Structure 1
């Protein structure tokens, strides 16, 4: 792929993302057919977010540099079929000029949850009513990495100005639609107090989100999205609220009863909008024949044949058919509903119908027994009884469907599905939810029981499963290509590596490494001369999952957030979207997209929910598979994250997830299991947080027992950037230098050390020290090296021509009619220039040659804050300086080389992610 295409967005990608963004819009209310907007109507649009329309959440998952973006008001004005109240639009435009978008200074996690709203007066609203027929109110929210939502005004709750806006508009207009441009569900209990006729979630739709929302509002696209979360009346109604947000410990007392599993089992009255719900501009009816059991490829299944008909007369549309399981309570206890299948119809014209087939594996209905109450501890089982199925269009709007003319699928006696071994069980005591007696309304009494604790010895498990050490041979002339050509085994190849080389290969460099595509997240593989000599290429990763982040300022396509993608309930269109993402990754010579994010949306306040898909593990897994398959088809690889149980951003690097083994296996790990087994993912990123006392990056049962042992994963596992690790056996305190603990757990790559730092980082981590002390074996290091080398053979980089030259090349001096002598600094040997962050400086080169650049820099942010800037000489970007937060301390960073001739040069600092301070730039002559 030509380097000339790097930073050039893929043709047609943004346009297709617009189609996907419209598919995920969820219509929750539409009284009196208020939507769509009609051709004979004049529309008044209220709310500043009409112009400052959000395209993504904040942090690494939203940091995509785009060539353009769209907003709602301009997109509506592009529509010929409606008229917009231009007077009101101008009032907002003028006010926003005086009250510009607040990005919080551009620092990491600095952008506020909402933007200050323009105060409305009765006069403004009355005049708008005089000029128009309907009102559209736009409300926006954001949150993201390191910034949770809060149960306060301006975040989960509306502000006083927003409520006043709704009050004034509904007092004057008979038809009012509210559009929620949010990254996550927010409180909508205010609907009970105001006469709002329509409510539409458009989420964050990426760079084409404004146009996609306008397509839905005017009826060019009929909404077909469905909720992937339950919307309760109050934040305290969510079962996780009691234990959410602590600094050190998050107890998962709700166990498997997350989201609708809790509400439908224990508290249906607390639900305002149920899981799976969403309206259309048309109507549908469906019929489902009795299901049938069939054997397919030697596996027993249940098949549902459903006929769906568009019964409306005006609009084409799509419907989502959902199948829910009601398992017998047995000894384990069960939620009254669990999603087990779904499908979306094609676009049905009025009067048109379609038959769809949904197929469910019987063994997928099993539950995990972590207590042994069924007689099969640490096993998936089907307890005896009738397994009932409910087919419909949301978790509430269903009909019960028989199986083989019987009431459900009958299991006469307990059936062992799969015997496993205990893994990840908690080490401290707590109580978890359990259904008690059945109540008159069909729900269950809420009770609590003791949670099973760890019984196995993790020490014995690790020590009895140590990999054998390969005898080191030194360089025998074998290259990685020889392994690919099957001339030598990968074990023979890795046996050549010295201890120093083994310690080097497990370190990724970045961010913005000059060895790979500029501005990306990391470089790994051939990050030293000796590893390059063995034929290891340098692979590249880039932040996602909603587009490629390049902190050098290079442009990419930003697609809808995970919330919206899952709301489409259409894995086919999501896969097609990520085929294009894979192609754009390949165009930019990037091997791994750091996504999808597939943690469960356990609680509405998690700031990173926008990267994730759903409160339901099955829906999450289906969308994750579609995402990964698409990327692979497009020519790159996916990296599911954050493995695992990242359910809050507050104290995300230290808050311990105290959770049962059953909840982990049936809910929090299920999406990861699905993408590994069915999605072709070759990379996994672990989370920052500990799980039951062991940090994710050094959690042996997570990364070895389950991921590699049970699921058969043969790719690479990497840490999140600058993660901490603790002892896989004894737990204890964590430290980011504990790479020996990471390797023991079979997390292969530490992300990241400084650029050019992988080979010389031995004093900054404990790898070689632990090897010498015997707390890490050479066999364990060699095992991770094998994993990395195996991945590199499968990675796109292995078939790419690479030139490992980090020189920008030759740069000609400027010519001036009159030199700006007052700002010129002479570039003498080892001279340090002091750049100005606001104005350019000039420097004069007396001695031509090639120079290595170094930067003394700092950032006032905390250790996980990420900032970057470009070094621009003569209006050309020659290097990118990037750092995580340094707490204001100055560090030195090695940058690219550049060839300079005699003459005068202009140097500027261009900030791509504010927060970095470049104190000095040094040019050291290398030849």
Structure 2
């Protein structure tokens, strides 16, 4: 293995291509692609503050660089940027700097826009051929979007900019640097020449967007969401954003399933839509049904003048029957290679009976809680979006088929009504409502009937986890020897930024106590997230294109290749598990976390998650599919109960996860903060054991989200570990110390009173140990079969941290010195550097008095990394609940000469009242003798 394995330049090229293929061209009157020599006037604040991702844990990647659209255009010699216009922006930004907000999830949805007067636009038009207008938005964890200016709607300044620019220029291109779809009604007001969603493309985002507008890459991105005329047109709007209850009255009619059935006239841009610089013909071939699957062939031909790629989408229109069904459902898709003009490519699509079935949760088909194919006609369509397609074949089913008989699980306990279509004679659909079947059994009944058997210890025998690996004992033999205390500890993950794993990562689990380590259980490491590896220590990682951007590429091979590189980066940083992909459904455009997720469609969602997992699995690491399930809003995410039918849960909200498990062999799952139909997902036996493990065959680990609640809806708390373990949710994430039970959970108490069995704890321990044994951490620990890790370690970069200013600290004869707290900058991704010099060599102590800012939410995470030169000495993580002043002491042992103290703040919101250095023990004589001996030698 002499050649370099992890090549960031190759990584960047793949990411750049992924961005370019994910860009969606909505409108183009011929202005694009831009011609070489074009003079460009670049408008919009986002040219200086490109959004590489959304906010929160899914976006906090400390990366080496971010190339936005302006930076990309500046280095491209084919185009000329209007320098006078840039100078005007430069002066304005001096008085209007970037507003990062204060603390966790507080960054504004948009940055204040420079007013663009008609005079400024006209002046720019005199020396420019085309205007490019950038509009930027962000949102994220704990911060939904809103129907307000600067979020879903444009601001007055943005309207003024578009009005004046489009009036001054004959050609205006609008680039939307956003994480989710926004209101598009403004397009009717202004004479724009082209409009593109360029999304949030990570560190290569600007280059990927440039590739499309320059014509280096023919746009092939297609929408994975429906863009409606008005936010009120989305059927979920009346039931979105509540803090206590979120009732899914639209049921399975999410996104295009609703619009194509009930409201085609409310759509601006349909699901799957996107333009190209060329044209394609999609020709349907044979459609054959063998009783188990439908096989459809198709040919795609480039009928235009330039090379390009096309997305081929296959839909089914099922007979309504007694259940009712959407007018259209996506069942397959593929993307062509780059086709030259006149070139064709053949495809064959296979659609199984399971894909064509519907879930009967009421028994109206006489098969309650079963996937069935109703008798009737199944019409197949193939084309470039849900609207533009041709008939590909018809399958007639004479009688109902039961595809899979299941049992009641996760049924709602709240009575409500849901949408049901009735097809009229003219082919349109009338909206009716029906009662939703509610729960008839308690999941506790199933749990008690299937309690595991306690594993019995083999007397006189002791084992290491390596013995299981080497087949010297069984996993049951190994787990049976764990004490009650060890069993209580192993289900507790530690973090944030545990010193036991890669600095700055989200969590550590497995051998989190000395006694567990002694039994040969290494400590595994996980880290956020969907936009790249988050390391709060300040260490850099690659910032990925966001989930929506990648899904809009509709190129699964490309996504898998990109995540091959992500897998290597995880291995390079000794991280076993990425906390992603995020794969919740875009139920509503305002969900702040939509940027992490893929689509309103479960099939697109599942396929992209499968590609990402396969990409990481190539190198032995994995991703944690999250948030399981129904995290469709951030508002009230710890308190809201999601109420949905079994059918909606299975056909829409769980389907992608099922695909990830069945098709990619997913190894890790993270449950949500919220509750669904009576239980917090962390404690839902139906969800975690009956559906995930028993129905789908999942045999990996399940972890909670960080500091999640357990128990029943509205009654849960952070200490109900017993409920979490009973559900077979293996890991509670996180505690600061597993052995000290810093979260004061009820595990030991429940074990003592019998409400939690030792066998249930053993079952979770076995899941954890099995998972760890099969991951790279085990071979690193044993130092065997570890060639890739050795190679990657040899390639490690000298990753110096940037710093904003230097502070000089001199400790005189008193052995005491103070740093003025006002000199320390605590903004996010800021590294302060202090030169520390002293008269006396010895052991010193750094004391910091800190607290969280008053305006932070209790769940905010504020990490501080403390370095001595390049060595990470300590990581401190406050939560938003730490509002009282506390003193943190950090030992600096064996200080023999001047060193650099580095304080890195990965997130702002920490207040510092005092920073104090003090000599604890003099080692002057010890060092003098040591140096004397060295001189003699």
TM-score past 0.5 threshold? yes
Aligned match of 1:359:
350
Structure 2 distance, partners of 1:823, 1:454, is 75
Structure 2 distance, partners of 1:749, 1:536, is 15
Does residue 208 (structure 1) correspond to residue 204 (structure 2)? The answer is yes
Aligned match of 1:600:
585
Aligned match of 1:287:
283
- 1:835–1:908 Cα contact (<8 Å) kept: no
SS in 2 for 1:864: coil
Does residue 321 (structure 1) correspond to residue 308 (structure 2)? The answer is no
Does residue 900 (structure 1) correspond to residue 894 (structure 2)? The answer is yes
SS in 2 for 1:287: strand
Aligned match of 2:633:
648
Aligned match of 1:374:
365
Give the alignment's TM-score, normalised by structure 1: 0.92
Structure 1 distance, partners of 2:756, 2:268, is 54
Match of 2:571 among 572, 576, 586: 586
Q: 1:273 to 1:530 in 2, by over 3 A?
A: same
Does residue 421 (structure 1) correspond to residue 413 (structure 2)? The answer is no
- 1:249–1:657 Cα contact (<8 Å) kept: yes
Match of 2:18 among 9, 14, 20: 20
Q: CA deviation at 1:305?
A: 1.5
Match of 1:399 among 380, 385, 390: 390
Structure 1 distance, partners of 2:847, 2:768, is 30
- 1:826–1:844 Cα contact (<8 Å) kept: no
- 2:842–2:922 Cα contact (<8 Å) kept: no
SS in 1 for 2:626: coil
- 1:845–1:900 Cα contact (<8 Å) kept: no
SS in 2 for 1:565: helix
Aligned match of 1:521:
506
SS in 2 for 1:12: helix
- 1:141–1:155 Cα contact (<8 Å) kept: yes
Structure 1 distance, partners of 2:760, 2:595, is 37
* Cα shift readout 1:157-205 (whole Å, capped 9, x = no counterpart): 0000001111111112122111101000000011111111211110001
Q: 1:316 to 1:435 in 2, by over 3 A?
A: same
Aligned match of 2:794:
none
Q: CA deviation at 1:632?
A: 0.7
Structure 2 distance, partners of 1:515, 1:426, is 42
Q: CA deviation at 1:91?
A: 1.9
Aligned match of 2:398:
412
Aligned match of 1:776:
756
- 1:467–1:780 Cα contact (<8 Å) kept: yes
Match of 2:734 among 749, 752, 755: 752
* Cα shift readout 1:127-163 (whole Å, capped 9, x = no counterpart): 1111122211110101000010001000000000001
Structure 2 distance, partners of 1:435, 1:845, is 83
- 1:75–1:210 Cα contact (<8 Å) kept: yes
SS in 2 for 1:101: coil
SS in 2 for 1:620: helix
SS in 1 for 2:768: helix
1:908-927 matches, within 5 Å, as 909-917=903-911
- 2:353–2:403 Cα contact (<8 Å) kept: no
Does residue 826 (structure 1) correspond to residue 816 (structure 2)? The answer is yes
Aligned match of 2:334:
343
SS in 2 for 1:339: strand
Aligned match of 1:311:
303
- 2:503–2:872 Cα contact (<8 Å) kept: no
Structure 2 distance, partners of 1:530, 1:359, is 52
SS in 2 for 1:500: helix
Aligned match of 2:879:
884
Match of 2:725 among 723, 743, 752: 743
Aligned match of 1:837:
824
Q: Structure 1: which 5+ runs fail to align?
A: 403-407, 804-817
Match of 2:246 among 233, 240, 250: 250
Q: CA deviation at 1:902?
A: 5.9
- 1:824–1:843 Cα contact (<8 Å) kept: no
- 1:836–1:909 Cα contact (<8 Å) kept: no
Q: 1:215 to 1:69 in 2, by over 3 A?
A: same
Q: 1:763 to 1:294 in 2, by over 3 A?
A: closer
Q: 1:836 to 1:699 in 2, by over 3 A?
A: farther
Aligned match of 2:769:
789
Aligned match of 1:503:
488
Structure 1 distance, partners of 2:309, 2:625, is 29
- 1:439–1:445 Cα contact (<8 Å) kept: no
Q: 1:464 to 1:68 in 2, by over 3 A?
A: same
Q: 1:423 to 1:133 in 2, by over 3 A?
A: same
Q: 1:428 to 1:892 in 2, by over 3 A?
A: farther
Structure 1 distance, partners of 2:367, 2:648, is 17
Structure 1 distance, partners of 2:619, 2:845, is 37
Q: Structure 2: which 5+ runs fail to align?
A: 784-807, 826-831, 924-937
Q: CA deviation at 1:40?
A: 4.4
- 1:858–1:886 Cα contact (<8 Å) kept: no
Structure 2 distance, partners of 1:514, 1:9, is 28
* Cα shift readout 1:425-480 (whole Å, capped 9, x = no counterpart): 0001010000024263x331111110000011322211111111223568832010
Match of 1:51 among 48, 72, 86: 48
Structure 2 distance, partners of 1:414, 1:387, is 12
Q: CA deviation at 1:90?
A: 2.4
* Cα shift readout 1:570-623 (whole Å, capped 9, x = no counterpart): 111000000100000001000000000000000000000000000000010000
- 1:640–1:685 Cα contact (<8 Å) kept: yes
- 1:157–1:187 Cα contact (<8 Å) kept: yes
Match of 1:465 among 415, 435, 450: 450
- 2:538–2:904 Cα contact (<8 Å) kept: no
Give the alignment's TM-score, normalised by structure 2: 0.91
Aligned match of 2:805:
none
Aligned length: 887
Q: CA deviation at 1:81?
A: 2.4
Q: CA deviation at 1:16?
A: 1.6
Aligned match of 1:867:
862
Q: CA deviation at 1:635?
A: 3.1
Structure 2 distance, partners of 1:612, 1:886, is 29
Q: 1:864 to 1:622 in 2, by over 3 A?
A: same
Aligned match of 2:32:
35
Structure 1 distance, partners of 2:703, 2:885, is 28
Does residue 858 (structure 1) correspond to residue 851 (structure 2)? The answer is yes
Aligned match of 2:257:
261
